[in-house]
Chain A
Amino acid sequence: MDRRIRVPGTLQLLVWLLCTLFEIAVIVCALKKGVFRRYALLSIYMGASVVVSLARFRVLTGYGYTSSQYVYVYYYSDALLTIFLYFALANLYAQVLSELKAERHVRFATLFLLAATALFSYGVVHEASTRLISRFVVELSQNLYFVGLVVTYILWGAILKMRETRTQLIQVVLSLGVYFSLFAADYALRNLYPSMRSISIPLQQVIGCFLPLAWAYTFWYIPEDARTVPARLATVSR
């Protein structure tokens, strides 16, 4: 049995370093531009991402890129971060629906969705696989990202309906939609072709850089009072 540790290449280390720096940049930009309290859960999510990045790096250097330890830590931490992102998303819902005083309903709906997704994923894997734990976490991540995508899509619909015009909020939601859709597509592809595991994780690391960069850009460049008419973004002018 080959016990050599496959260490990450320079490119993979660079992607990891850049992604971690971008995550730190989101917190710095939010603090510097005075929007940390407004987007507290998003900033805390980025803080959690930094901690997870460091933990992954420790496992990566200790056990190697293709080790089962790294794969387990990667997928489980990813599922936990996605659950955290759900709560950040719930916070965005609360901001958009603030006029309707629907915070309690949003919180209840988030918890319900989380439980339903986990149960559904468990059910699917229990029916189909003998390697329950490893399949479960990939199935759960795929479903979590997909449900996240659907929930973000509904939030975008709410933004259009409520005529929300805050540019920062609009860009945060749209970038979240891009992020969820890319991840959901990647996990689905990974589920369709399990042999793509070795490509899937590096690809996810590159995609993972998008969200912190997009948020850092939004917090840094877009003033808090900037306004955009969302309906104009969604229509084709003739």
Chain B
Amino acid sequence: MMAAFIFVVSVVIFLQFFVFYCRSLIAVSAKQPLSPEVQEVTGIQRAASGDDFKRVMQLLHLCPERPEDRKGIQAVGAYFQLLNLVASTVARWIPSTKSWTDSERGHCTYFAAIALERRISFSREMLAQQMDS
């Protein structure tokens, strides 16, 4: 009985912490500007749309991976899936959540674009180091 109670409470609190944690990751990247080059590659000019997330992630996977940002990208990817789930279930009964999920999905795309920018500059640095040596 006690274990079942702990399990249920832990899962509920986990969901809360997970959402807040992902939003804190996204909030940090939202303050960083995108370079014109990445804007052109991703097609994000002003506000990012959730519909572009898959495409930006595909571009991200084309770049050499950095272990430091892997967990953050995975966490935001899982958060994006959670938002899709909310959009296709809860938003049908509560239409006001639709605009919130759309805006959050857009923020996820922007986070992925910033990660792409970091990976591109990391690849460039590696290439420059190789050229020097």
Contacts and interface: CB of A to CB of B under 8 A. Distances in A.
A208 interface: no
Given A174-B20, A226-B28, A142 B14 contact: no
Contacts of A232: 23, 27
A124 B24 contact: no
Given A174-B17, A217-B69, A236-B100, A167 B28 contact: yes
Nearest to A29: B68
9 contacts: A156-B20, A167-B24, A167-B27, A174-B20, A177-B13, A177-B20, A192-B4, A213-B71, A238-B96
A214 B25 CA distance: 10
The 10 closest A-B pairs by CB, nearest first: A181-B14, A177-B17, A188-B7, A185-B10, A191-B3, A174-B21, A184-B10, A213-B71, A188-B6, A188-B3
A31 interface: no
Interface string B80-121: 000000000000000011011001000000000000000000
Contacts of A167: 24, 27-28
A73 B12 CA distance: 30
Contacts of A67: none
Contacts of B25: 171
Interface in B21-79: 21, 23-25, 27-28, 68-72
Interface string A156-199: 10000000000100110011011001101101110110000000
A90 B90 CA distance: 38
Given A174-B20, A178-B18, A178-B21, A237 B103 contact: yes
Report whether over half of chain A's contact residues are helix, strand or loop; otherwise say mixed: helix
Interface of A: 25, 124, 142-143, 146, 149, 152-153, 156, 167, 170-171, 174-175, 177-178, 181-182, 184-185, 187-189, 191-192, 209-210, 213-214, 216-217, 220-222, 226, 228, 232-234, 236-238
B99 A238 contact: yes
B20 A210 contact: no
A188 B13 contact: no
B131 interface: no
Report whether over half of chain B's contact residues are helix, strand or loop; otherwise say mixed: helix
A83 B18 CA distance: 23
B2 interface: yes
B71 A217 contact: yes
A156 B18 CA distance: 13
B7 to A, nearest CB: 4
Contact of A233 (B4, B9, B20): B20
A234 to B, nearest CB: 6
B128 interface: no
A182 to B, nearest CB: 6
A198 to B, nearest CB: 18
Contact of A234 (B6, B10, B20, B103): B20
A143 B10 CA distance: 11
A238 B91 CA distance: 13
Contact of A181 (B3, B11, B96): B11
Contacts of A175: 21
Contacts of B18: 178
Contacts of B13: 149, 153, 177, 181
Given A175-B21, A177-B17, A181-B14, A233 B6 contact: no
A192 B3 contact: yes
Contact of B7 (A124, A153, A185, A238): A185
